[in-house]
Structure 1
């Protein structure tokens, strides 16, 4: 009977150790491509913002730049299941914006996507 108790105790420790190890694993990486089209007559700047962590693409005080009429595919490496929203604005006019706007400062109802592979539909930035 002593052997059975020790075996159960060992199994319980293994399950606890496994749960701790699983919790310490990093989030699974995934990729998503944002397809952005600038249909505004002026150039547009775009940033993509994680809603689940403090991360911005492209980051380092840079932006994705789209000339008028340009379509750009923006591939991202992100965490599986992460919510990512776009913010776009007319270059030189941060008051004219789409999505969450500059600095992820505005709320939006349809500008976020889940990182789960593949690509977004074409996002049209229209005047």
Structure 2
């Protein structure tokens, strides 16, 4: 698949240009906090997605990115992906004259969506083993988040914390099986943070795991 060209002009300006320039796809990320890390675009009906069209860039929350479409035809298939692998797709999108795809929430097809009584969907379990290897005398606070930021453990402003340097703390949480869960840890006095941070908004490709019943270990040191 041909690599797409990044467009820096506005959609309105492009629509007054030549016919080729009118075939513009704009993707807008309306998620609360998390960026889109990869975008794949192909002619509708093509069996393979080809290369990531962001080329190492990201589309942050509230941001947009645009491409011109170089091939013949008006219809494209598009897939967006987060750093944890959650995806959203749209098919047969007509880009002739310009089109915008707005992403509100990126979810895998098999993901369990909490609704109604949340506890009824939290039938899975996972254990996080947090080891404090930061010898600066301050305890490390930590909590856990769903990748989309809608749920956290413990709730509200509460958190768990380490009590002694060198010790490990096992924290079991009930979670939707197959859902991606991320850890966030921080020391307010020393200004240190790990993983997704205190509010789950930091990018952390290595701080998230699927709710799979297993033990996931994190060793936190003072060195960043």
Identify the residue that residue 183 of structure 2 maps to in structure 1: 86
The corresponding residue for 2:193 is 97
**Residue 154 of structure 2 is aligned to residue 61 of structure 1:** no
Equivalent in 154, 158, 168 of residue 71 of structure 1: 168
Higher share in strand: 1
In structure 2, what is the Cα distance between the partners aligned to 1:36 and 1:54? 23
Following TM superposition, the consecutive aligned residue runs of length 4 or more in structure 1 with deviations greater than 6 angstroms are none
Deviation at 1:69, TM superposition (A): 2.2
Unaligned runs of 5+ in 2: 1-114
The residue that corresponds to 2:87 in the other structure is none
- Compute the displacement of 1:61 (Å): 1.3
| RMSD across aligned positions (CA) | 1.9
Stretches of structure 1 lacking an aligned partner (at least 5 in a row): 1-23
- TM-score normalised by L of structure 2: 0.42
Which entry has the higher C-alpha Rg, 1 or 2?
1
Aligned residue number for residue 206 of structure 2: 110
Q: CA deviation at 1:76?
A: 0.6
Query: Separation in 1 of the partners of 2:169 and 2:203?
Result: 24
Partner of 2:140: 44
> SS at the partner of 1:49?
strand
Please state how far the C-alpha of 1:59 moved relative to its aligned partner: 1.3
Higher relative contact order (CA 8 A, sep 6+): 1
3-state secondary structure, aligned to 1:47: strand
Equivalent residues of 2:149, 2:200 under 8 A apart: no
Would the aligned equivalents of 1:43 and 1:91 in 2 still touch at CA under 8 Å? no
The answer as to 2:220 corresponding to 1:125 is yes
Would you say how many aligned residue pairs link Structure 1 and Structure 2? 101
1:54, CA displacement in angstroms? 1.1
